[in-house]
Structure 1
């Protein structure tokens, strides 16, 4: 269940619509205009929000989830206040930017053919996910696996279209607010795809085995529920209950996609803030956990870091 740790939103945007089939999860309907008004009026805070102070001004750090439900999508009062008081949105990647999507497609191309056995297992999971044939063929197999893992969450009403990062990006575009990507497509690909082909095959086989025994939905639900109630202790314990860390190679993988990225993320946040801009930074919630959690690293860089409780 590694997909939520990296690149979930961008992957979802590269996947086409699923065909109608009796055993497919029903699509999550977009709210009507009237429903949006109700959601906006009743929205409550979810996730993790910190106020950052340094250099005489404030920024905000928001731990988001790349999946969501319609009722979670719109920002609650505390996040709306952070939005009002900031002037620039910083995200891991701006997956709505055509140039970024093209760079992702270029970086995500398959490197080498799979063995027939692995290819058959991957194709079987694509069919189980109700995808059109060849829908993921242009992606590296590791990224196909990540997309399939994300799509499994549709059975539980969780959809990438309702992740709060997607909503914040849409709001920024509607208002003409500047958007800054904290990482490049190439950096994310280096984190997600192991350099060693043998390690790639091992990771693919292990992930397919999780999908085949239907072991990904329960951890995704648990993570989503922990995020929704702002349970930082549960998030910190992710490696124990995610069913994705079984040996030293898995621990190295989690370190590469989470801890190893946090140092550069913190440095780029600090540089943007140091330029005098008031930021709202929205990055995946798992970056708020572990020994190199972003709030801890930012405190080490001289920020006063204060958790903002829901209103």
Structure 2
């Protein structure tokens, strides 16, 4: 089960390291993710595919996207992870936390899954009391992030965090294509039973080592800009008929791609030069954002 990690999991309270102070990686830096050049009405936007976790070895990015970031008037992100922390906390309370003392989420699970959840929380060094007020979908998201961390990737080093920090250093305007409230509402609208099923399937995927395998696959594909591997991941995601798989494909990807494409098209129309950075799975497969932008009559060129 490929889980689409949202930016809000990346680092609400993290302070990213100053990348410029680190030892420079071998030159030139390799391609990462996916990069597209979008053109229309004499304006140019660069569309970059991100991953919502990271490693210090990812940075800095390769020269073409770095140059685009330096000259762009605007950086557009799904959600700015270094933006309003009050907005993030408010959305967490509204959509991710039980109200009126209801909980814990483990009570929603089938009895056989409760000891398995406890074991995973101990394995990931998460105090059960800290997740007691969380809704099942949020616990599933936390477990997914922790699984990525076991593979050596950190949420506080997410690509969006690096991009946002750089834009702030350049005093560059940052716009959000979505809101953290809208993102979390996608999960919050699930019934209690569906949230429990989402968490149970996450537990199954971790126990069967599928989650670890998928985490390595997407991180490696992103880190090497492996076009074929990214397309295989898109195909596998689309063919996953589990509840979680259908939710990722239909709600988190297909359901959001048109809105993301509209936002990027509007950005291109009003800005002469810009960079939009969104999760790489939005840029591959059927109904991808680049495909939708082409349908709008824009010129879309894949750089890598």
Question: What TM-score do you get using the length of structure 1 for normalisation?
Answer: 0.84
The CA RMSD over aligned residues, in Å, is 2.8
Residues 53-90 of structure 1 deviation map (CA, whole Å, 9 limit, x = unaligned): 01211111000111222111321111111112311111
* Structure 2 match to 1:78: 64
The answer on 1:266 being equivalent to 2:261 is yes
Q: For residues 256 and 127 of structure 2, what CA distance do their matches in structure 1 show?
A: 34
In structure 2, relative to structure 1, the CA distance for the partners of 1:189 and 1:55 (3 Å cut) is same
Cα deviation for residue 49 of structure 1 reads: 0.7
In structure 2, relative to structure 1, the CA distance for the partners of 1:102 and 1:240 (3 Å cut) is same
Contact 2:75 2:274 in 1 (8 A): yes
Q: For residues 299 and 106 of structure 2, what CA distance do their matches in structure 1 show?
A: 52
> 251, 254, 257: which one pairs with 2:249?
254
Residues 240-277 of structure 1 deviation map (CA, whole Å, 9 limit, x = unaligned): 55699244773254211101100011111111221235
Which aligned pairs between 1:112-151 and structure 2 lie closer than 5 A?
Answer: 113=103, 114-116=105-107, 117=111, 118=113, 120-151=115-146
* Structure 2 match to 1:231: 226
In structure 2, relative to structure 1, the CA distance for the partners of 1:140 and 1:158 (3 Å cut) is same
> 100, 108, 128: which one pairs with 2:87?
100
Residues 139-185 of structure 1 deviation map (CA, whole Å, 9 limit, x = unaligned): 32211111211111222211122222210111111222111111112
Give unpaired runs (5+ residues) of structure 2.
none
The answer on 1:216 being equivalent to 2:216 is no
Residues 258-305 of structure 1 deviation map (CA, whole Å, 9 limit, x = unaligned): 011000111111112212352211110000122210111111112111
Q: For residues 20 and 262 of structure 2, what CA distance do their matches in structure 1 show?
A: 40
In structure 2, relative to structure 1, the CA distance for the partners of 1:259 and 1:183 (3 Å cut) is same
Q: Secondary structure at the match of 1:183?
A: coil
In structure 2, relative to structure 1, the CA distance for the partners of 1:239 and 1:291 (3 Å cut) is closer
Q: For residues 95 and 110 of structure 1, what CA distance do their matches in structure 2 show?
A: 23
Residues 1-28 of structure 1 deviation map (CA, whole Å, 9 limit, x = unaligned): 443x131x42242589xxxxxxxxxxxx
Cα deviation for residue 102 of structure 1 reads: 2.2
Question: What TM-score do you get using the length of structure 2 for normalisation?
Answer: 0.86
The answer on 1:11 being equivalent to 2:9 is yes
